[in-house]
Amino acid sequence: MNGFMAILKRDLHLASRQGMDNMMVVMFFVIAVVLFPFGVGPEPNILARIAAGVIMVAALLASMLSLERLFQTDYEDGSLELLSLSPIALEVVVLAKITAHWLTTGLPLIIAAPLLAVLLNMNSEGFPMLIVALLLGTPSLSLIGAVGAALILGSRRGGVLLALLILPLYIPVLIFGVSAIDAVIGGFEANAQLLILGGFLMGAFALCPWAAAAGVRQAIE
């Protein structure tokens, strides 16, 4: 546990010293969402109809943006080798790095999301559910993304490859996240969708650290 906290603290420390990197992810999220009113026209009904989907898709893309660097910088300067040679299990190291990624990317997105929902004229009844869906969904994105980030280590132009590898795996989060928000706006219960999102998160939590650690081991061999 001490090792987990030490790595988490270090990664947050590194992220805070390179503050612009994380700001850029949030800026990307905002700009991507803001483009839609220009594209589909400023008709409030249309925007309200597509708001949940647009915000979720933009959140997926934004959280992917910083994934490439999740292991890459540590891989390049030799830190990843040393981390894998520490007395701490590599799975725990990976989980600490994923947690740091979520805290520096997922959490700011969740904070920015309601603002964008207002911009897109989303029905205000959906706001709490938007937050809940993102709270359950974004950790899954970081977990799944870590597997992709580990697999692309050492490859050139890994960024595009990473997108091709993990975007299809993000589809369940997208479907059930948007569906939960739409259900609440339509006056229905969203328990089923939330249970599926939660189950997906639990599954990702159980499997992804192991898969990502295996990928990292392969890369540093």
Partner 1 sequence: MSTFSGQNLMCVRGERTVFTGLDFNLDAGGALVLIGPNGSGKSSLLRLMSGLLPPASGTLAWEGESISEDPEAHGGRLHYVGHYDAVKAVLSVTENVSFWASLRNAQADTDAALEAFGIAHLSDVPGRFLSAGQKRRVNLARILAAPAPLWLLDEPTTALDKETIAALEATIARHRQGGGMVVISTHSDMNLEHYDVLDLADFALGQGEMARAS
Residues near partner 1 (CB under 8 A): 2-3, 6-7, 10, 13-14, 17-18, 76-79, 81-89, 220-221
Nearer to partner 1, 4 or 28 (CB): 4
Least gap, CB of 6 to partner 1 (angstroms): 4
Q: Which residues fall within 8 angstroms of residue 116, CB to CB, at 6 or more apart?
A: 29, 30, 33, 34, 55, 58
Structure tokens, 216: 């990292």
Nearer to partner 1, 180 or 213 (CB): 213
Least gap, CB of 18 to partner 1 (angstroms): 6
Structure tokens, 59: 């959140």
Radius of gyration (C-alpha) of the chain in whole angstroms: 18
Burial profile 46-61: b = 16 or more Cβ within 10 angstroms, e = fewer: ebbbbbbbbbbbbbbb
Least gap, CB of 171 to partner 1 (angstroms): 35
Nearer to partner 1, 14 or 167 (CB): 14
Nearer to partner 1, 86 or 191 (CB): 86
Least gap, CB of 135 to partner 1 (angstroms): 30
Q: Which residues fall within 8 angstroms of residue 73, CB to CB, at 6 or more apart?
A: 79
Alpha carbon distances (Å) from 21 to 25, 53, 75, 80, 138: 7, 25, 18, 20, 18
Least gap, CB of 198 to partner 1 (angstroms): 31
Residue with tokens 């869906």: 133
Least gap, CB of 87 to partner 1 (angstroms): 3
Nearer to partner 1, 23 or 160 (CB): 23
The answer to whether 132 and 138 have CB atoms below 8 angstroms apart is no
Nearer to partner 1, 41 or 87 (CB): 87
